Structure 1
């Protein structure tokens, strides 16, 4: 049976994930210009957790998690959303969205290294080369635009964004084995709940100490802030968590992560459509490198690696699932 065809929905989920993330940096910059990063995260996860709770409460997507199963998911949520979004929000205070985009391109490299060590995921030499080609495409675009990560005086922002990328790589690796035990909605609901609780405690606590609790609610009167928050809370938080959990249940962490480089293409298209930015020749060259790299990483695997992956899937399917009676 064709493994690529079987994993078609997972690749589609990864692609949709990349599209949504491609627009997210723009909306994050909009929100943190109107509110403190902790307030943005608190509002964002309150909205996403509320949205996720509706189908759970109505019984459309039941979540059955036993107390003994909570710790592995809580540990996962500490990487993403807690560390990933915290580093990203504070990093974007001192770095541009284009710099965030290029640092995001390092996620597949981190993921490949971590997945090879912790998950024993195997990749062929062609897949490794393809991954590097995709990353090089992002770097090429940024370099040709005249960007300089270390020469722009924003070392703190760049460092935080790099930690954000490393956190998400760790999340991808840690989530991969959990997707064989828990349903995507179960992982999504618990991780969003942890983010909702922690970010709101930190934000409200900060305002309580400063005696400025009214400032916590003030941005919610801005219609532009609300619009950006809806995108970040619903699409870029809840939906992307669902999509990534589903994709990781079907394909390797290293293959999933390389799709994040598609976000660069989306960011460029968004700039051309909404900000009237010009597309130049280096955008085209870099885009082709990204696309070829993503395709190569996912479809140039050796037969041995495919056989090993199928054996792992068979072993995972033979283990009784937590929700089976």
Structure 2
């Protein structure tokens, strides 16, 4: 199997996992606040990658100088991405946030063009717009009320989308010097430390530090956090980092819209949510744009060789 084929399979699997993750986030939030959820999520991710390193020391070799080089990338993802997303969702609705988050592929395209000098054809730009339009269309008809719009909420979600775009582009550069496991190892531990410090600080301020571990008394939370920490955080980071080493950053960034399709379908099947005509229209646009974009090769050599 070619490296590019493996990369497409990796990024497709990542989109499926992220799409289902929203179901588990809803379950986990019944017993924990958002920041605590992030803390527990990345604690488990860091623990698993550390266990892997213990049994496979040759796979992850990270020196002090490597930490200094990789840590700055961690502040784009997961730290800035999740923190700004959390702040934004406290102000605006998920539908409004979804519209802003949909521009992440466009931001990735711009960043990749400036930093990586990636080239794409004009028709590919059209397909990106079609895919993004599908996400925007679904979220607008889901309930977008401009009169209640908060510009601070917009700013936070925009910064989250920007962080995701920067992560895609810079991780591609980083993957030339470090293995997939080494990059994810540093990112997972950094996310674990930062989110736990914030969570513990907030618990101390609110005078309820004893409630930090309370969510683990609920079996549903435990199962949800295992999915979010091991599969949705750790595994997807490995998959996306691998894909970024084989594919253009713009292609990987565009696949984030496919997660929207998975989330909608998962909500319909497992949560019995209604599926309306605009969902079908948006899904077709998202898939058509993503598939159409990837059918056209960039005017450059295959970077996987």
Q: Determine if the TM-score, normalized by the shorter chain, exceeds 0.5.
A: yes
- Give the counterpart of 1:50 among 47, 50, 54: 47
- Give the counterpart of 1:265 among 255, 261, 280: 261
Quick check: 1:37–1:90 contact (8 Å CA) kept in 2?
A: no
- Structure 2 partner of 1:322: none
Quick check: 1:38–1:199 contact (8 Å CA) kept in 2?
A: yes
- Structure 1 partner of 2:282: 286
Quick check: 2:11–2:252 contact (8 Å CA) kept in 1?
A: yes
Q: Can you give the 5+ residue segments of structure 1 that lack an aligned partner in the other structure? A: 315-325
CA spacing shift, 1:205–1:144, aligned 2, 3 Å: closer
CA spacing shift, 1:17–1:271, aligned 2, 3 Å: same
* 1-structure distance, mates of 2:215, 2:277: 40
- Structure 2 partner of 1:231: 227
Superposed CA offset, 1:31-55 (max 9, x none)? 3453232211111111111112222
* 2-structure distance, mates of 1:180, 1:144: 42
- Structure 2 partner of 1:17: 14
Quick check: 1:149–1:155 contact (8 Å CA) kept in 2?
A: no
Quick check: 2:124–2:293 contact (8 Å CA) kept in 1?
A: yes
Quick check: 2:184–2:237 contact (8 Å CA) kept in 1?
A: yes
Residue 294 of structure 1, CA deviation:
0.7
Between 1:171-180 and 1:27-36, the stretch displaced more is 27-36
Quick check: 2:19–2:263 contact (8 Å CA) kept in 1?
A: yes
Between 1:130-139 and 1:274-283, the stretch displaced more is 274-283
Equivalent residues in 2 for 1:129-168 (5 A)? 129-145=126-142, 147-148=143-144, 150-153=146-149, 155-168=151-164
Q: TM-score, structure 1 length as denominator?
A: 0.86
CA spacing shift, 1:31–1:91, aligned 2, 3 Å: farther
Quick check: 2:88–2:157 contact (8 Å CA) kept in 1?
A: yes
How many matched pairs?
305
- Structure 1 partner of 2:197: 201
Q: Can you give the 5+ residue segments of structure 2 that lack an aligned partner in the other structure? A: none
- Structure 1 partner of 2:79: 82
Superposed CA offset, 1:58-107 (max 9, x none)? 11762101222222210100111111111223333344444444333211
- Give the counterpart of 1:170 among 163, 166, 170: 166
CA spacing shift, 1:229–1:154, aligned 2, 3 Å: farther
* 2-structure distance, mates of 1:291, 1:228: 28
* 2-structure distance, mates of 1:301, 1:227: 41
Secondary structure of the equivalent of 1:151?
Answer: helix
Between 1:225-234 and 1:246-255, the stretch displaced more is 225-234
* 2-structure distance, mates of 1:279, 1:45: 33
- Structure 2 partner of 1:320: none
Residue 224 of structure 1, CA deviation:
2.3
* 2-structure distance, mates of 1:45, 1:227: 15
Q: TM-score, structure 2 length as denominator?
A: 0.92
Alignment of 1:275 with 2:271, yes or no, is: yes
- Give the counterpart of 1:189 among 182, 185, 188: 185
Residue 5 of structure 1, CA deviation:
5.0
Residue 273 of structure 1, CA deviation:
0.4
